């Protein structure tokens, strides 16, 4: 019996594929997204005021007491 001998070379290259850099960028992006979500829910959104400092708007109407038109001195010189 004769045995045939076949030479097979397996070449494995490591490094230079960029998967490590992609993982680092993914982690940084995930941290930024988590911080943005926390800020949005706990700081009150995009209006710039914290959620605890929201005040209700109050409208105050002032009505001065003025004499009705055509009173004793309405400026026409009739006097009365």
pLDDT per residue over 15-49, tens digit each?
A: 666 678 888 999 999 999 999 988 888 876 655 55
pLDDT at 75 over 70: no
Calculate the average pLDDT of the chain.
75
Determine contact, residues 51/44, Cβ cutoff 8 Å: yes
Question: How do residues 40-49 score in pLDDT, each as one tens digit?
Answer: 888 766 555 5
What separation in angstroms does the CA of 72 have from each of 36, 63, 67, 69, 78? 68, 21, 9, 9, 9
pLDDT at 13 over 80: no
Instruction: Name the pTM for this structure.
Output: 0.38
Name the residue with higher pLDDT: 53 or 57: 57
């Amino acid at each position: 019996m004769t045995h045939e001998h076949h030479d097979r070379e397996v070449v494995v290259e490591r490094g230079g594929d960029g998967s490590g850099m992609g993982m680092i960028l993914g982690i940084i992006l995930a941290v930024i997204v988590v911080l943005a979500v926390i800020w949005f829910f706990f700081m009150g959104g995009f209006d710039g005021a914290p959620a605890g400092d929201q005040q209700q708007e109050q409208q105050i109407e002032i009505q001065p007491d003025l004499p009705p038109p055509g009173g004793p001195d309405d400026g026409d010189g009739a006097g009365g």
